[in-house]
Amino acid sequence: MKKNGFLLFYFVLLTVSCTAQPHAPKLSAQILIGPSFPLGEFASKAANGLYVSDYYTKASGWANPGFSGKINLDYQIKKSFGISLIIAGQENKQDKNALENNVRQGTNNTDNYSITTNPWKIFRAMAAVYYDFHIPDGKLLVRPRISAGALKTNIPAYRYFDMTSFSSGGYMNQVSVPILFCYGIGTDLQRPFSKKMFLVINFDFFHSTIKGYNVQGSTVNGNFNTQIPISSFNTFFGVGYRL
């Protein structure tokens, strides 16, 4: 009788203990910042850029490394599977030396130029799916993602002044670009430092393409063959919070 009573008491205690345990948070948010590294034609310094774009299928973006920021909202659907909303932005200055070489090729002279530029500004809103797994110590969470969504940017303005002939030119105003499709892959490394907060290192790659602008850079309407591929690899550092 005492044995049965003890077993009953143990069963009730175990049941209460299990039901009293809080469910693991399904929603988490991350705030991240870090450097961005343009890739491919977007980073190319070759003089086959916007000024002489009618001669090339793919134009250089002359983008230098810059700064980026990102917010991730993750929702866990199952133990190791979930979905994400990614909001990100970055800024990359144009390379003035590359622009000067581009102007020299376009104007076919060796005059001295004064170059001023505006930066590339890129904004992304993307949906993603992810899968979680832990490395052997059990504390470091690895979260690979595949994402797709919308990208907004404009072709930035640049201006040159010929110090010899006192003439000027360039894109005086930025060129408006429609919203573009983009896709990407990335990976989080997450390590908790409190019950609800964790440190994050995120590696992120995305790609998109501006298609169809004319040699004067006054429009982007899809009626021209020239493209500006936009690719970037970003490294982010930040913190996350489990809601």
Give the CATH number for residue 231.
2.40.160.20
Arithmetic mean of pLDDT over the chain: 80
Share of the chain above pLDDT 90, in %: 49
Q: Identify whether 11 is part of a domain.
A: no
Reading the block at residue 85, the tokens are: 């909303």
Q: Identify whether 8 is part of a domain.
A: no
Number of domains observed in the structure of the chain: 1
Q: Identify whether 17 is part of a domain.
A: no
pLDDT score for 13 = 39
Of 39, 31, 105, which is closest to residue 70 (Cα–Cα)? 31
User: How does pLDDT run across 16-56, given as a tens digit for each residue?
Assistant: 344 444 445 689 999 999 999 999 989 988 766 544 444 45
Is the predicted pLDDT of residue 1 greater than 70, yes or no?
no
Report pTM. Answer: 0.80
Q: Identify whether 3 is part of a domain.
A: no
User: How does pLDDT run across 157-184, given as a tens digit for each residue?
Assistant: 877 777 666 666 666 667 788 899 999 9
Is the predicted pLDDT of residue 118 greater than 80, yes or no?
yes
Q: What mean pLDDT do residues 66-82 have?
A: 95
pLDDT score for 117 = 85
pLDDT score for 52 = 44
Burial degree of 111 (CB within 10 A; 0-12, 13-18, 19+)? middle
Q: Identify whether 89 is part of a domain.
A: yes
Domain that holds residue 205: 25-242
Residues 239 and 194 sit within 8 Å (Cβ to Cβ): no
User: How does pLDDT run across 89-116, given as a tens digit for each residue?
Assistant: 999 999 888 777 777 766 666 667 778 8
Rg (CA), the chain: 26
